[in-house]
Amino acid sequence: MKKYFALILIGVIMMGLFTPNKAAAAPGAETLVLPAPERQGGMPLMEALDKRMSSRSFTQEELPEQVLSNLLWAAWGYNRADQKKRTAPSSMNKQELSVYAALKSGLYLYDAEAHALQLVSGEDIRSKTGSQPFVNSAPLNLIFVADSKKQNSLTSSYANAGFISQNVYLFCASEGLGTVVRGWFNEKSLHQAMGLGKDRKIILCQTVGYPK
Ligand SMILES: Cc1cc2nc3c(=O)[nH]c(=O)nc-3n(C[C@H](O)[C@H](O)[C@H](O)COP(=O)(O)O)c2cc1C
């Protein structure tokens, strides 16, 4: 009996040692398939440019799924799916950036191929995405993360993230949403909260919500 108990105990300890961290284990575990993005309509481009601005005051109202779908597609979705090419350019088409969505219900990774959000963690990490108080309660904080194995030039990753961010700005202007791109966050604590590996670098965050 004692022998079996010891074996079970060793098994439990080994499982603890070899269980991958949350971020590595969770993608794919739970998927929020988004409705197809509405790829037509919206505000005329010149009007959206006229309205583009940064906002820092948001209501807590959550974004409807269709709005989230359109927003993520506009940000970094495939607009030429047959070639796996996207709404934003990237240096040498390396596509090293991942877009994460920190929502009240948890942290998700945007999967452009499936046009879905893959659950990374059920924890609400919005407060870790920045040092300004509105990040805690705004419904969505996007996090742009570079994979240094795909792109070793940080300059390129900052430029590439800028294009994604501007897509979000223009979409928000068109939809009457508020947004602000942010470089002011604690990289170390956010990196840890997201469970990212050493080869991942957080480039920018961007808050989205209905303006107050
Ligand atoms: C790379 C970058 C980082 C920024 N970081 C922050 C930030 O951490 N917090 C913030 O409130 N605004 C941030 N902003 C927004 C700028 O303050 C804003 O774009 C600027 O004041 C001009 O205002 P506008 O966007 O309304 O034209 C950032 C903008 C850029 C391009």
pLDDT digits over 19-76, tens only? 333 333 334 448 899 999 999 999 999 999 999 999 999 999 999 999 999 999 999 9
Ligand 1 atom 25: residue of nearest CA: 54
Q: Identify the residues whose C-beta falls under 6 Å from ligand 1.
A: 53-54, 56, 132, 180-184
What pLDDT score was predicted for residue 30?
Answer: 86
Angle in degrees, 0-180, between the axes of helices 154-175 and 65-76, rounded to the nearest 10? 140
With 70 as the cut, is the pLDDT of residue 3 above it?
no
Q: Per the structure, how many domains does the chain have?
A: 1
The set of long-range contacts for 38-45, using a CB threshold of 8 Å and a minimum separation of 24, is 38/66, 38/69, 38/70, 39/73, 39/79, 42/171, 42/174, 42/175, 43/173, 43/174, 45/170
What pLDDT score was predicted for residue 6?
Answer: 46
User: Using one digit for the tens of pLDDT, what is the confidence trace for 144-190?
Assistant: 999 999 999 999 999 999 999 999 999 999 999 999 999 999 999 99
State which residues form the domain around 145: 2-209
The CATH number given to whatever domain includes residue 56 is: 3.40.109.10
**What spacing in Å lies between the alpha carbon of 164 and ligand 1's midpoint?**
14
Contact 141, 209 (CB under 8 A): no
CA distance between the termini of the chain: 65
SS3 label, residue 111: strand
Ligand 1 atom 12: residue of nearest CA: 182
